[in-house]
Structure 1
């Protein structure tokens, strides 16, 4: 991770993290991000994502944002919803930033 990447990632909003998740899901699924965004808008916050794809996206989000989500039942539930997943990641980013003394 680059020295100033930590502070940049700490400034990511929940909406930006959600957009990152959508982009990664779209990329991995070979679908346009607009299509996934529309599916999310029409169908509610839950996107059907198989567990392998969810694990791949989880790993990429953790790497990109610089936080690690604990392997818990709560994390597994969060992966069912893009919005909830983004919220959990954002909370971890804020906590990590606070520990490093970076304001988000």
Structure 2
């Protein structure tokens, strides 16, 4: 993934996730995971604060919220799938990130940290 450009989407398998990429393009990366039933837009005020401290924020519209990542089966919304969605983005970024979650997003962030502590 080219980090010198804004990231608007990323894919994992058949699913395409929308991303709100803002802040200094060369800042340390912070991935933001919204809660239920919120969207990535819920991070707007927090993102502004992070930008003031030179962080670049990537707020993901998670599985079920991105137009092209809405599986029909409830079994495709397991915590393990949601964790892998986020881990895939981080792997594609190719560098460590700060990971912040709110509500259900915090369970996903914890799952990523436990499975991929690096």
Q: Which has the higher helix share?
A: 1
Range into which the TM-score falls when normalised by the shorter chain: 0.3 to 0.5
Structure number with the bigger relative contact order (C-alpha 8 A, sep ≥ 6) is: 1
Query: Which structure shows the higher strand fraction?
Result: 2
